Chain A
Amino acid sequence: MVKISTDTVDHIAKLAKIPVSEKEKEELAVGFNKTLEVIDELFKVDVSGVEPTHQITGLENILREDKIDERKTITQDQALSNTKKKHNGYFVVDQILAED
């Protein structure tokens, strides 16, 4: 099993969009490596010819009509009621495209 370095932790933190401090990176790396030792136990089990589990109680293709159900909708005010940043009835998001 590979060892996780603080650089890898840094990379994963970026993918997860989670800010982590230098101290945290070190702590997380220690925890990750301990957890990976546990995960390593998996490979002692013979799974040749075994299908992976997809749905444990065997349900298949539970579908619904592609229609709006008014009972399940919430109003614009309700939708905006928990946001910290709104403007003219919209959510405010960070800019992702900018001119150089």
Chain B
Amino acid sequence: MLNSFACRRVDISFEMPLRETEALVLRTHRLGEADKIVSLLTRQYGRLRAVASGAQRPKSRYGGTLEPLSYIRLWIFERENRDLLRINSAELAESFFSMQNDYRIQIAAQYVAEAAERFLPEREANERVFRLLLAVLRAIKRSGEVNRPLIYFNYWLLRLGGFLPDFGVCASCGAALGAQGYYSSGAHGLSCSACQLPQESFGLAVSDLNSVTASCQGTLDRWILSGKPPSGMNEVRRFLEALIETQLERKLVTRDLLEGGH
């Protein structure tokens, strides 16, 4: 769990027992025969885990509300001496269920959920990351495109977390990069040709990276509407995903499936 985000720690020992918030469902786990543990990214309280009683039952009052990637309005409360919050009720604000129609889009959306769940510390509010996730999911759903929304997501997740390296210089020796940079597994940025590890690295045109960086300064919708994606998108996406894995010090399971090109 990372703590570099400029966010505020949230104590949910509420004075009022019931609190209302907006949330994105990141994933769910079965709990016993009838309940679910729901991992949520909330707008006001950051990432939380809560129990939804009876959510596995066919006539559950939650219906399809707690399906992964649903954007919901949520009422939660906390019991003393319990780690997990309890969901009192939930209403669907926007569903991303239709994204299951395309397997690659499903993997991309779940990559976003997994990266956010691994990257964000629990109970630290960060509204900018919440808005980022929502914008990226909406863009994937609307455009059916994967590369640009994921690049935008990776870029801003790293930047908001304070982990975005300077793309203009070698991460090893600090020299200015030429036309080509090289990324080696586990590095915190690009290397120059002198510092690269030939067996483990892949090359990246610095001009592609600069073009992407410039595009990420505007809104994602404007970038997607700007026309055909520029060249080198796959390499840039792979590079940013690798940087996220380096910061997490673990592999993301959805990344292998994305690379698998299903």
Q: Tell whether A pairs with B.
A: no
B binding-site residues for A, Cβ under 8 Å: none
A binding-site residues for B, Cβ under 8 Å: none
